[in-house]
A = this chain, B = another copy of it.
Amino acid sequence: MAADCRGFEVDPWQLRWCGLDVDALRRTESIFALSNGHLGLRGTLEEGEPVGEPGTYLNGFYEKRQLPYAEVGYGYPQQGQTVVNVTDGKIIRLLVGDEPMDMRYGHAREHERVLDFRSGTLRRSTVWTSPTGQSVRIRSERLVSFTERALAAIRYEVEPLDEDLDLVIQSDLLANEPVVARQGDPRFAAALDRPLVADFAAARDFHAVLAHHTRQSGLRMAAGMDHELAVNATPRCSVHTEDDLARLTIAVDVARGDTVCVTKYFAYGWSSQRSTPALRAQVEAALAAGLETGWDDLLARQRAYLDDFWASADIEIDGDPEMQQAVRFALFHVLQAGARGETRAIPAKGLTGPGYDGHSFWDTETFVLPVLTHTVPAAAGDALRWRHSTLELARQRARELGQSGAMFPWRSINGEEGSGYWPTGTAAVHVNADIADATIRYLAATGDEQFERDCGVELLVETARLWAVLGHRDSAGNFRIDGVTGPDEYSALADNNIYTNLMAQKNLRGAVAACERQPEVAQRLGVTESEIGRWRDCAAKVAIPYNDELEVHEQSENFTHYMRWNFADTPAERYPLLLHYPYFDLNRKQVVKQADLTLAMYLCPDEFTPEQKLRNFDYYEALTVRDSSLSACAQAIMAAEVGHLSLAFDYFVESALTDLHDLHHNVATGLHIASLAGTWSCCVAGFGGMRECNGEVRFAPRLPENLDRLAFRILWRGSRISVDITRDAATYSLLSGDPFTFRHHGQPHTLSDTPLELGIPDLPNVSKPEPPAGRAPYRRE
């Protein structure tokens, strides 16, 4: 029964974990988390303990906390936001005889858990013998409904194996669960002590509701549960509530071979506006609807939703079953993070854990939205509508910092800046261009004119306005953007960071184009001709630092003149560097936390020649330590483009296994949604070579030796396209919708009913670059 350090079995459509390793609980709770983007449940055991981090989250529901500073400074955010572990509805405790079922005691003869990517459920099967020798089989299955966003459900079944047994089942709603405080790592959430204040509790029959609010942020919530019970015996049932607890107790004698089966429906509502009675009514209505739908239909709807998703989004891989599984795991969790957020943010950890305080970053726009835009475009639109809904806060922030337009927060739940260290927070202004880029991509891929008029133009205009005042034309006429932080947080506060400058350029040009397409909206936003002219001029002249001697671009001005980090003398255990070396030293040396210029070459492909891309990639490859999970996917994509296909595959593997193998040692606090999304990008933009430029889609497919076949699907303006890549050719098929125009390795084609099989040109012969000493890509055993 002892699990190895990973314990996952390879299977194309599910993730199975056999054995119980209490030390791994926190990690598996994240991996087995269920979410629909609105409600998230960590993959805890039903019996509540042992537990790593209990974790029930409602998107957008947060508590405020003071941000302390040793030395205060103007414009520092005074309050941060932290995701709250809300009332836990997933607890179903079991007493066998008078022994609480607890995997730490007695003996578990069998135990497995399965996350099923097609059913959208988490199943568990356990055979457990109590310390006094009584054995039961427990089967459970749970879901967070993609179709009923407020609703989750658990079916829980117990079977006495060797003798008739007295069983007690306690189904709880539990608020203010104890949470272990963690310290010492800035990436972990600040623990909140009993964040919920009780407002209301009521119960009758199998039904209970608890309502609470948060102390500082004043958000209100309600949680409710209802149950169905199936057993061949007469149970004694009772329900009661306290401030922080509602409990249905079922005591029943079950005969050997018989079962008791409880189906628990639980629902949540929250609001900053609505009253407690209104929220109570909302969850009771959701429960009524859930009961009316019933367990089987909930399962069927979940399956149908996922069938539809996979029909648009699936990636098939031949030649590496583990990668096949990992890619579907990734897609499943990206869907879970974004499916039903509905004008709420998509946090960096989704709703899988409290990491990063539950905040959203540029990860969403740059890594997650490309996937959603081409697979679940409505979800991408919703995420951008959330950004749009925070525009007024972003405008206020720009004014507070002496700028114009909108300055979106580096990290936030509610749209307010929550970064407590401005050099790698507020100064990372590229987040504004990243939002613009996601807007441009979404508009190009969907043609959603309603969104453009309602949100898109305004997002582009207000971010463009920021760049126009943030940068300036120097005496040589170059448009400089000084003192900002690009993606590489080990090079904070740099001048003319190429990523930032090129993305600002795209932002400015996108704003010009949007205003030209929607002149009425532009007029409403007060855009003048001279303003458009300035955006055009700024974009035309962005400074792009280049080192003539080395013939490479500079990530930012002077960068290539800095001292190189001493990789040879940096032991493996001192990574990530930020936990073992001061920013003071990291910032002043050539060491790259994560793809920066490399990411710019992917997102702005026409701004570099192929020769520059190759030289740049190789130069920065030797400096990039990948201390961020956002790095490997970008390196995979560009490695594939410049011809390092084997290295691209290595980074694809690293990206795909980042969470499954816990490569960053922090899956315990939640999955890395952007890295999971990046795994899709490794396939589609890496081996598929997909690029989007000026509304044009290009592919340049090419398989690494390790794979025999890679097939993916994308949505483009309502058309569903399949790209099926083998060693020698790629076959493009139009699965539904209008004809599709694209490029294949540079040549234009139009795809309609007949699939196109197009040959793949030979790989250029290039020698493989070396990552920094000791930082080779992750190797599977």
Interface residue? A22 (CB, 8 A): no
Nearest neighbor of A484 in chain B, beta-carbon distance: B588
Nearest CB of B to A589, in Å: 8
* A426 proximity list for chain B (CB < 8 A): 582, 584
- Within 390-444 of A, Cβ neighbours of B (below 8 Å) are at 400-403, 419-423, 425-427
* A483 proximity list for chain B (CB < 8 A): 562, 584, 587-589
- Within 469-510 of A, Cβ neighbours of B (below 8 Å) are at 471-472, 474-475, 480, 482-484, 492-493, 495
Q: Name the one of B71, B493, B587 contacting A186, with C-beta atoms under 8 angstroms.
A: B71
B549 x A71 contact (CB < 8 A): no
B401 x A585 contact (CB < 8 A): yes
A427 x B558 contact (CB < 8 A): no
Interface residue? A688 (CB, 8 A): no
Interface residue? A2 (CB, 8 A): no
B403 x A578 contact (CB < 8 A): no
Nearest CB of B to A541, in Å: 13
B68 x A68 contact (CB < 8 A): yes
How far, in angstroms, from A562 to B549 measured CA to CA in the complex?
Answer: 24
B582 x A421 contact (CB < 8 A): no
Q: Name the one of B72, B475, B584 contacting A427, with C-beta atoms under 8 angstroms.
A: B584
Q: Name the one of B80, B578, B585 contacting A70, with C-beta atoms under 8 angstroms.
A: B80
Q: Name the one of B74, B425, B493 contacting A579, with C-beta atoms under 8 angstroms.
A: B74
Interface residue? A764 (CB, 8 A): no
Nearest neighbor of A558 in chain B, beta-carbon distance: B495
How far, in angstroms, from A558 to B559 measured CA to CA in the complex?
Answer: 12
A72 x B480 contact (CB < 8 A): no
Q: Name the one of B400, B474, B493, B581 contacting A402, with C-beta atoms under 8 angstroms.
A: B581
How far, in angstroms, from A581 to B587 measured CA to CA in the complex?
Answer: 23
- Bits for A293-330, please: 1 = Cβ < 8 Å to B, else 0: 00000000000000000000000000000000000000
A422 x B80 contact (CB < 8 A): no
- Bits for A551-578, please: 1 = Cβ < 8 Å to B, else 0: 0000001100111000000000000001
Interface residue? A746 (CB, 8 A): no
Nearest neighbor of A190 in chain B, beta-carbon distance: B70
B70 x A472 contact (CB < 8 A): no
Q: Name the one of B70, B401, B495, B581 contacting A582, with C-beta atoms under 8 angstroms.
A: B401
Nearest CB of B to A577, in Å: 9
* A67 proximity list for chain B (CB < 8 A): 70
Interface residue? A73 (CB, 8 A): yes
B482 x A588 contact (CB < 8 A): yes
Given A482-B562, A587-B493, A73–B549 Cβ distance below 8 Å?
no
Nearest CB of B to A75, in Å: 4
In the complex, the count of this chain's copies comes to: 2
A578 x B74 contact (CB < 8 A): yes
Interface size on A, residues (CB 8 A): 54
Nearest CB of B to A582, in Å: 4
Nearest CB of B to A488, in Å: 14
A561 x B401 contact (CB < 8 A): no
Among A71, A186, A423, A492, chain B packs the most CB atoms within 10 A around the CB of A71
How far, in angstroms, from A421 to B73 measured CA to CA in the complex?
Answer: 9
* A563 proximity list for chain B (CB < 8 A): 471-472, 480, 482
Among A73, A483, A549, chain B packs the most CB atoms within 10 A around the CB of A483
Interface residue? A665 (CB, 8 A): no
* A578 proximity list for chain B (CB < 8 A): 73-74
- Bits for A60-80, please: 1 = Cβ < 8 Å to B, else 0: 000000011111111111001
Main SS at interface, chain A:
loop
A68 x B69 contact (CB < 8 A): yes
How far, in angstroms, from A589 to B401 measured CA to CA in the complex?
Answer: 13
How far, in angstroms, from A420 to B589 measured CA to CA in the complex?
Answer: 22
- Within 36-79 of A, Cβ neighbours of B (below 8 Å) are at 67-77
Interface residue? A546 (CB, 8 A): no
Interface residue? A580 (CB, 8 A): yes
* A584 proximity list for chain B (CB < 8 A): 75, 401, 422, 426-427, 483
Interface residue? A583 (CB, 8 A): yes
How far, in angstroms, from A403 to B186 measured CA to CA in the complex?
Answer: 24
Nearest CB of B to A489, in Å: 11
Given A74-B578, A584-B427, A561–B474 Cβ distance below 8 Å?
yes
B422 x A583 contact (CB < 8 A): yes
How far, in angstroms, from A482 to B562 measured CA to CA in the complex?
Answer: 7
* A526 proximity list for chain B (CB < 8 A): none
B420 x A69 contact (CB < 8 A): yes
A402 x B70 contact (CB < 8 A): no
B72 x A585 contact (CB < 8 A): no
How far, in angstroms, from A17 to B587 measured CA to CA in the complex?
Answer: 52
Interface residue? A184 (CB, 8 A): yes
* A589 proximity list for chain B (CB < 8 A): 482-483
Nearest neighbor of A418 in chain B, beta-carbon distance: B70
A419 x B71 contact (CB < 8 A): yes
Given A482-B588, A558-B495, A582–B74 Cβ distance below 8 Å?
yes
B186 x A73 contact (CB < 8 A): yes
Nearest CB of B to A472, in Å: 4
A69 x B69 contact (CB < 8 A): yes
A421 x B585 contact (CB < 8 A): no
Q: Name the one of B76, B402, B403, B582 contacting A422, with C-beta atoms under 8 angstroms.
A: B582
How far, in angstroms, from A562 to B482 measured CA to CA in the complex?
Answer: 7
Nearest neighbor of A75 in chain B, beta-carbon distance: B582
Nearest CB of B to A8, in Å: 33
Nearest neighbor of A485 in chain B, beta-carbon distance: B584
Nearest CB of B to A537, in Å: 15
Nearest neighbor of A80 in chain B, beta-carbon distance: B70
Among A67, A472, A580, A584, chain B packs the most CB atoms within 10 A around the CB of A584
A558 x B561 contact (CB < 8 A): no
A70 x B420 contact (CB < 8 A): yes
Given A69-B70, A558-B482, A493–B495 Cβ distance below 8 Å?
no
Given A423-B423, A561-B474, A563-B472, A403–B585 Cβ distance below 8 Å?
yes
B71 x A421 contact (CB < 8 A): yes
* A403 proximity list for chain B (CB < 8 A): 585
* A588 proximity list for chain B (CB < 8 A): 482-484, 493, 495
Nearest neighbor of A566 in chain B, beta-carbon distance: B402
Q: What 9 additional pairs, Cβ within 8 angstroms, besides A71-B420, A482-B562, A483-B588?
A: A70-B420, A73-B421, A73-B578, A74-B582, A403-B585, A426-B584, A482-B589, A483-B562, A483-B587
Q: A residues touching B (Cβ–Cβ < 8 Å)? A: 67-77, 80, 184, 186, 400-403, 419-423, 425-427, 471-472, 474-475, 480, 482-484, 492-493, 495, 549, 557-558, 561-563, 578-585, 587-589
Can you report 26 A-B residue pairs in the complex whose CB atoms are below 8 A from each other?
A: A68-B68, A68-B70, A69-B69, A70-B77, A70-B80, A73-B421, A75-B584, A401-B581, A401-B585, A402-B581, A402-B582, A422-B583, A422-B584, A423-B423, A423-B493, A426-B582, A471-B563, A480-B561, A480-B563, A482-B562, A482-B563, A483-B588, A493-B587, A495-B558, A495-B562, A557-B558
